Amino acid sequence: MRQLDVRGEICPYPMMRAVEALKKLPTGEDLEVFTDHPPALSTIPWEAAKLGYEANLEESGQAEWKITLRKVAGPAKKPADILKDLNRQLSALAISE
């Protein structure tokens, strides 16, 4: 599992760095992104989904989160399904966009 720490960075840099890391990620590896910038909780998963990754959001500290990005097995999700899953996870973390 690779890790990317973008704490202290604001948009669009966390998303841009995550996408760059995903493009270089070896097949079969996951990427954990650590952020303290709430907008990144939606921009990173959305852009990752375009590359065939799904996201799992977790709180990793006070106002800090871990986004685990994993390659989707099978067909890519539809944009509406990506948004639905993302909104469900953000609601569970009590973060609204």
Residue 81 and residue 86: Cα distance in Å, rounded?
A: 8
> Which CATH architecture is the domain 2-92 placed in?
2-Layer Sandwich (3.30)
With cut-offs at 50, 70 and 90, classify the pLDDT of residue 79.
confident
The mean predicted confidence, pLDDT, of the chain is 92
Annotated catalytic residue 41: no
Task: Judge whether residue 93 has pLDDT over 80.
Answer: yes
Kindly report the pTM of this predicted structure: 0.89
Statement: residue 80 has pLDDT above 90: no
- Condensed to tens digits (0 to 9), the pLDDT of residues 15-39 reads 999 999 999 999 899 999 999 999 9
Q: Is the pLDDT of residue 40 over 80?
A: yes
Rounded to 10 degrees, the C-alpha dihedral 29/91/40/31 comes to -10
Residue type, 96: S
Asked if the model's pLDDT at residue 83 lies above 90, the reply is no
Q: Exactly one of 11, 16, 19, 25 is catalytic; which is it?
A: 11
Domain boundaries, the chain: 2-92
pLDDT (0 to 100) of residue 20: 98
